[in-house]
Amino acid sequence: MRKLLNTLYITNELSYLSLDGENFICQIDGKEKLRIPFDNIESVVCFNYPGCSPALMGKCVEKLIPISFISPQGRFLAKVCGETKGNVFLRVFQIDCFRDKGLELAKNTMAAKFSNTRQLIRRTLHDNAKLREDEEIQSVLAVLSEGTNKVFEAQSHEEIMGIEGNCAKNYFSVFDKLITNERVHLSFSTRTKRPPLDPVNAMLSFVYTLATNEFAAALETVGLDSYIGFCHTLRSGRSSLACDLVEETRCIVERFVLTLINLQIVGEDDFEKQISGAVWLNDGGRRKVLTKWQEKKRTEMNHPYLNQKIPLGLLPYVQSNLLAKFIREDIEEYPPFLVK
């Protein structure tokens, strides 16, 4: 198991990363602002335009430290990573496994997603008695429960994604009701992605991107090809397998975003609206979200399959290891992450 260290987030758009011996150097306008030893860093996420020096990227490749480049608005651009640990045989097994068992993997993953979404809603109901009798929310819970049953009867990936689309549409139709703090002025009407059209969507897209990158890095660490998935269709430049595994943990991202809103940690002043109508986190907003996300990753959780406590930040590595074990036939079935 890879030790959980730190992710280095470069949020200033004018920052430039370079190398000095065994240290990361962050410069702004030619002046050194930060110096961090390599041994303290697990991965790097850059939201800056100038980027990194070739020497630094080479050092990161050597030390297997992935660098993800993301636009200041949260759109994934590219990733630089080192040689995948493991061997070519695991990737051959991965392709064969997904051809033979991809449908069953997709069913289990989506069923876990629907179950975890139900748990997120039920947790909100537990904390807010007045919502327990809300007919719309109860209807959505029924749709999610029905979707869990239907997905196991599906005969194709297209049918599974159709069920997922219907469940997601219903879930997000009541998402605004999960913003329970009446003093909050942020609201949500529908899920918009490219681009997000309101602050809540902007935060969801931003943190989904962070989570996907973390799963992609974890998959590369255990020797799996993050671009070959079993549920999402193959697309050049997309980490389809990372997108698959993120489905199980979207509830964590959504609960995290709701917490930031309901506790008024993030507010209207943390966003900027473009002429096109797109809404993005501004520099201050990104700093708040990234700081809290890093804190969240250090909190402990009880993993339902391992039955032991782990830092939340290790969850992508645990699930990636379990998937690799399933592909190698060390375990009979891949256990998707389930919130209990």
183-207 pLDDT tens trace: 888 888 888 888 889 999 999 999 9
d(CA 271, CA 267): 8
Any residues with CB less than 8 A from the CB of 223 and at least 6 apart, and which?
Answer: 84, 85, 86, 87, 90, 91, 324
Q: Are residues 172 and 92 in the same domain?
A: yes
Coil, strand or helix at 28: strand
The answer on 108 and 67 residing in a single domain is no
CB 337 within 8 A of CB 248: yes
Q: Which residues pair with 78 in a beta bridge?
A: 69
Q: What is the pLDDT of residue 86?
A: 55
Rounded to 5 degrees, φ, ψ at 26 are -110, 125
- Are 125 and 131 within 8 A, CB to CB? yes
Mean of pLDDT values over 159-179: 91
Of 17, 50, 80, the residue that ends a domain is: 80
Based on the fold, state whether residues 43 and 117 are members of the same structural domain.
no
Tens of pLDDT, residues 220-273: 767 788 888 888 776 666 788 999 999 999 999 999 999 999 999 988 898 988
What pLDDT score was predicted for residue 73?
A: 57
3-state class (DSSP) for residue 105 = helix
Domain of 14?
6-80
pLDDT, greater one: 85 or 337: 337
Q: What is the CATH number of the domain that holds 73?
A: 3.100.10.20
pLDDT band at 1 (very low <50, low <70, confident <90, very high): very low
d(CA 24, CA 8) in angstroms, rounded, equals: 10
Whether 287 and 211 map to the same domain: the answer is yes
Whether 320 contacts 245, CB under 8 Å: yes
Lowest mean pLDDT segment, chosen from 31-35, 64-68, 71-75, 307-311: 71-75
CA distance 10 to 26: 8
Minimal CA–CA distance to 283: which of 7, 15, 56, 2?
15
Q: Is residue 339, in this structure, part of any structural domain at all? A: no
163 and 42, same domain (yes or no):
no
Are residue 261 and residue 298 in the same domain, yes or no? yes
Alpha helices in 128-156 (DSSP H): 135-151
Most confident of 6-15, 80-89, 188-197: 188-197
Q: Which residues pair with 25 in a beta bridge?
A: 18, 35
d(Cα 199, Cα 36) in Å, to the nearest integer?
Answer: 33
What proportion of the chain, given as a percentage, has pLDDT over 70?
93
Asked whether residue 340 is domain-assigned, the answer is no
Q: Are residues 46 and 141 in the same domain?
A: no
Is residue 305 one of the residues assigned to a domain?
A: yes
d(CA 291, CA 288): 5
CATH code for the domain in which residue 242 is found:
1.20.120.920
- Say yes or no: 131 and 21 in one domain: no
User: Does residue 220 form part of some domain?
Assistant: yes
Q: How many angstroms separate the CA atoms of 259 and 266, rounded?
A: 9
DSSP string, 73-89: TS-EEEEE--PPSS-HH
Is the predicted pLDDT of residue 83 greater than 70, yes or no? no
- Reply yes or no on whether the pLDDT at 87 is more than 80: no
Q: Are residues 243 and 155 in the same domain?
A: yes
Residue that is last in its domain, among 80, 102, 130:
80
Which is nearest to 261 in space by CA: 177, 136, 340, 193? 177
- Classify residue 334: in a domain, yes or no: no
In a domain, 338, yes or no: no
> How large is the average pLDDT for residues 169-186?
88
Q: Are 248 and 336 in contact (CB under 8 A)?
A: yes
The answer to whether residues 263 and 300 belong to one domain is yes
Residue 333 falls inside a structural domain: no
Domain termination residue (choose one: 80, 100, 119): 80
pLDDT at position 2: 40
Average pLDDT over residues 13-36: 86
The 10s digit of each residue's pLDDT in 261-294 is 999 998 889 898 888 888 898 888 988 998 899 8
pLDDT of the residue at 106: 92
Number of domains in the chain: 2
pLDDT at 299: 87
Average per-residue pLDDT for the chain: 85
Pair 167, 47 in one domain? no
| 82-91, 140-149, 242-251: range with lowest mean pLDDT | 82-91
> Do residues 112 and 139 share a domain?
yes
